[in-house]
């Protein structure tokens, strides 16, 4: 898994690709968690290139979401494909987290 971070306006966009599974979820959670610890963070996770999520990946997103909530950060996903969305829906996570259709919609909301 490759993780890229870029600042766009007030938001930090994290783009990951590949599988968010037991092998990569810890590194993903650590990298994004470090961003959440920043000052007034707005984090948008672009899932457009994530093609597979396991329970470990769901757990990592849930941990990040809770950490963001506790610190007052804004945390959202975008670009979630149908297969991954199905997993998020089945786990109940989709009802708890803001998911934007694409990066432009997410950035507009976070930087608005």
Reported as a single tens digit per residue, the pLDDT across 24-52 is 999 999 999 988 887 768 999 999 999 99
Name the superfamily (CATH) of residues 2-106: STAS domain (3.30.750.24)
Reported as a single tens digit per residue, the pLDDT across 50-62 is 999 999 999 999 9
pLDDT above 70 covers a percentage of the chain that reads 99
Q: Would you call 110 exposed, middle or buried from its count of C-beta atoms within 10 A (0-12, 13-18, 19+)?
A: buried
| Contact call for residues 20 and 57 (beta carbons, < 8 A) | yes
Domain boundaries defined on the chain: 2-106
Q: Give 108-112's long-range contacts (Cβ < 8 A, gap of 24+).
A: 109/76, 110/9, 110/10, 110/11, 110/42, 110/44, 110/74, 110/76, 111/8, 111/9, 111/10, 111/11, 111/42
* CA 14/CA 16 separation, integer angstroms: 7
- The closest of 111, 36, 8, 87 to 28, measured between CA atoms, is 36
């Amino acid at each position: 898994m490759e993780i890229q971070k870029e600042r766009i306006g007030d938001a930090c966009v994290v783009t990951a690709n590949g599988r968010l599974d037991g092998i990569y979820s810890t590194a993903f959670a650590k990298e994004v968690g470090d961003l959440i610890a920043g000052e007034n963070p707005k984090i948008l996770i672009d899932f457009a290139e994530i093609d597979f999520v396991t329970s470990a990946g769901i757990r990592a997103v849930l941990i990040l979401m809770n950490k963001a909530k506790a610190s007052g950060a804004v945390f959202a996903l975008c670009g979630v494909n149908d297969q991954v969305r199905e997993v998020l829906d089945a786990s109940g996570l989709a009802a708890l987290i803001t998911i934007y259709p694409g990066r432009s919609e997410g950035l507009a909301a976070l930087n608005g």
